[in-house]
A and B are shown apart, each in its own frame.
Chain A
Amino acid sequence: MQNLLQKKDFYAGLFMVLLGAGVTLNSTTYKLGTFMHMGPGMFPFMLGIIMMFVGALIFITGVATPLEAGEKILPDSMEWRGWACILAGPLMFILFGVYFGMAAATFMCVFVAALGDKTATIKNSAILAAGITVGGCFLFSYVLKVPFPLFRWGF
C-alpha cells in the first residue's frame, strides 16, 4: 500500500478516471440526442467513457508493475520560489495591466518572474525588467500596435 502511493501511474490513472467521470456526468446535462441526430452532449459523453477506460488501464498497469527504483513523483529539488514567481509573473501582468497599463505590467511581470532564480538579486532583476520594458513596449506598442495603452490609471 505504501508502494502504491509513490507510483506516478496510480495518480495518473486516478486523475483520468475522475476527469472522465466528471465529463460523462456533466455531458448528461446537455441534450444527448440519438445516434442519428446527435445532441451536443453525445460526443463528450462518449469521450468521457473512453477517458475513464484509458484511465482505468493506466491505473491497472501501474498497480500491476513493480515500483521502479528511484521512482518519485516530485522532482529532485523543490523550486517553490521559482514556481511561485513564474506563476506570479503573468498574474502581475494582468493586475498591473488592468490598472496601470502596459509599461507597468511588463516591468512587474519580468521583475517578479526574474526573482524566481536562486541567484537573482533585486537590482539585477530590476535592470532586466527595465530593459525588457523599454524593448517590449517599443515592439508591441509602437511597431505592432497592440491596442493596450502604455500608461493608464484604471481605478
Chain B
Amino acid sequence: MFASALTDLWYGFGVAFEPQNIMWCFVGVLVGNMVGVLPGMGPLATISVLLPLTFGIKPVGAILMLSGVFYGAQYGGAICSILLNLPCHPPHAVTCLDGFPLTKQGRGGAALGITVLSSFVGASWGITEMIFLAPVLVRIALEFGPTEICSLMLLGLLAGSTLARGSPLKGIAMTCLGLLLGIVGTDIETGTARFTFGIQSLFDGVELVGLALGLFGIAEFMKSVNQYSDINTRYSNVGLRDLRPTRDELRRAIPAMFRGTIVGSLCSLIPGTGPTIASFIAYAAEKKFSKTPEKFGTGMIEGVASPEASTHSSVQGDFIPTMSLGIPGDAVMALILGALMIQGIVPGPQLIKEHPDIFWGLIASFWIGNIMLVVLNVPLIGLWVKLLMIPYKYLYPSALFFVAIGVYSTNNDMFQVGETVVIGLVGYLLLLLDFHPASILLGFVLGPRLEENFRRSMLISRGDVLVFLERPISAFFLFLCAVLLLAQIYVRLRKPKALAALALAESATGAAKAPAE
C-alpha cells in the first residue's frame, strides 16, 4: 500500500508539472493571494468570484487553479488579519489576537514569516494524511450501496450544519433551504419541472455560481458597505527584510507549529469541524501548554504559529472526505465539489479510480502551490501591503462588476444576473436574522444526489424505510447522527456557560466584524 501510494504520488507530480497545469496552479495561487489580501474578501467570496474564470479550462487545470485560489486566499486573509486586525475569514479571528499586537510592536513582519512557515508545516502534514487515508477510505466506500451513501450524506449534512458557527438549529434550517434550492428545476427521473414557477431559465435549476455570488458576494457587500471606513494602515509598513523572525521567536514558534498541526489533523477527522473550530482549539491548547498563559493576547508568537498551522492542516484534511467520498465538510469544499460537477465529473468514491489525474495531480499541486506561496510572498509582501490600503469603497463596486459578468458568462443569460441579485437580497435578510448562509451551499450541492440515492434505496428495499437501520454500515452512520444531535442538545441544556464563554471569545476577537464563513 505504501509503495502504491508513492507510485501514484509520483504520477501525480507528473500531472501537476505539465506546463498547462503548473501555469493554472500558479495563476490560482497568485490571484487567490492577491484577492484574499484585500480587506473584506474572504476565501469564499474569492473562490465564488473566480469560479466562472475556470469554466473554459480542462477539469484538471480548473480544479488545480481553484484549490490554488483557495489556499492563496486563505494565506492572504492571514496577512489582512495580522496587519489590519480584520479577520476576513473566521479561522483567522484567533490569529488576530496575538498577530495584531505583534504588528503594533513592530514585529508584524516576523508574525507573517512565521505564518508562512506554519501554514507550510500544517499543510504538508495534511497532504501526507490525504495521500494515505484517502485510498483506504475509498476502498471502504466502494462497497457502499445507495442506502449507505444516503445515511453518510445525512451525517455529513448534519455535521456540517450543526458544528459550524452559530445556532445548530439555524444551521439545519439553512441546510434544508439549500436542499430546497437543489430541488428547483427539472426532476431527473420523471422530467417534471419543480418549483420553477413556469420560468424557462429555472428549468436547469439554480446556478451554483449565481447562488454563491449572491450569498457571499452581494449579501456580504450589503453587510459591509460603509463599515470599513476606518482601516488603520498605520502599522502595516512591512518590507522584505522584516519577514525574518529572530532566533528566539523561531525557537518558540516551531514546537507550537507542530502542536497546532496535530490539533488540526485531529479536528479534520471529525466531519464538520472545519478550520474555525480547529484554530480555536489550537489557540486554547497553546495557552494551556504555555508557561506564561497570561501573556497571550499581548503578542505571543506561539499564538500565531499554532492556530495557523492547525487551520491549514485541518483544511487539507477536509479535502479527504470531499475528494474520496464526495461529501464536502464546509461551504468552501462544497464550492470546489460543485466546480467539479460543472466540469461534468461525478464526485464520489469512484473519482480516484476514474480520474486519477485529478486526484493525484491535486495532491501534488498542493505541495507545489504551497511552495509557490512561500516563494511568492517573500518578494511580493510589499505589494500586498500596498493592496491592503485599497479602500473598500473602490473595492466593492469593482467586485460587483466581477459578480455580474461572472454570472452572465456561465450561461450567457441575463436572467441569472437578476437571480443573483434576488439571492443576494434574501441572503442579507437571512444574515440579519442570524442565519449563516454557508450551510445553504452544502445542502445545495449534496441535495440532488441525496434525493437520487434515497429514491434508489427505497426502490431496492421495496419501500421499506427500516432498511436504513437494517444494514449495519448505514445504521452506524445514523447512530452517529443521533449521537451528534443528542450531544448538541446536552451541551445546550447542561453547559450553557461553556457556550457563552466561546461566544464571548468569538465576539472579543472581532469575529462579529468578519463576514460570515
Contacts and interface: CB of A to CB of B under 8 A. Distances in A.
Chain A complexes with chain B:
yes
Interface stretch (B62-70, B330-338, B454-462): B454-462
Interface string A74-118: 110101001100110111011001100010011001110110111
Interface string A21-56: 001001100110011111111111001001100110
A152 interface: no
Contact of A79 (B56, B225, B458, B459): B225
A77 B394 CA distance: 21
A37 B455 CA distance: 8
A94 B173 contact: no
A18 to B, nearest CB: 12
Interface string B187-204: 101101011000000000
B225 A86 contact: yes
A150 interface: no
A73 interface: yes
Interface in B405-439: 405, 408-409, 412, 414, 417-418, 420-421, 424-425, 428, 432-435
B398 A132 contact: yes
B400 A89 contact: yes
B462 A98 contact: no
Interface in A59-81: 61, 73-75, 77, 79
A12 B398 contact: no
Given A94-B418, A113-B400, A148-B412, A51 B173 contact: yes
A26 B189 CA distance: 19
Contact of A40 (B192, B392, B417, B463): B192
A91 B420 CA distance: 10
B381 interface: no
Q: Give the size range of A's interface with the partner.
A: 35 or more
Interface string A141-155: 000101110000000
A58 B226 CA distance: 32
Given A8-B433, A129-B397, A148-B412, A54 B405 contact: no
A144 B225 contact: no
Nearest to A110: B397
B195 A26 contact: yes
Given A34-B463, A44-B195, A90-B421, A54 B189 contact: no
A110 B398 contact: yes
B222 interface: yes
Interface string B174-188: 001101100100010
B421 A87 contact: yes
Given A40-B192, A114-B393, A51 B176 contact: yes
B396 interface: yes
A113 B421 contact: no
A40 B173 contact: no
Interface in B198-249: 218, 221-223, 225-226, 229
Contact of B414 (A27, A94, A110): A94
Given A36-B458, A44-B180, A61-B169, A86 B409 contact: no
Nearest to B195: A26
| 3 nearest A-B pairs in the assembled complex, by CB-CB distance | A36-B463, A82-B225, A35-B463
24 contacts: A12-B170, A12-B173, A12-B433, A30-B187, A34-B463, A35-B458, A38-B454, A41-B194, A43-B455, A44-B180, A77-B226, A82-B226, A86-B218, A86-B221, A86-B424, A89-B404, A90-B421, A91-B421, A93-B404, A109-B397, A132-B401, A144-B56, A146-B412, A148-B412
Interface of A: 8-9, 11-12, 15-16, 19-20, 23, 26-27, 30-31, 34-44, 47, 50-51, 54-55, 57-58, 61, 73-75, 77, 79, 82-83, 86-87, 89-91, 93-94, 97-98, 102, 105-106, 109-111, 113-114, 116-120, 125, 128-129, 132, 136, 140, 144, 146-148
Interface of B: 53, 56, 167, 169-170, 172-173, 176-177, 179-180, 183, 187, 189-190, 192, 194-195, 218, 221-223, 225-226, 229, 392-394, 396-398, 400-405, 408-409, 412, 414, 417-418, 420-421, 424-425, 428, 432-435, 451, 454-455, 458-459, 462-465
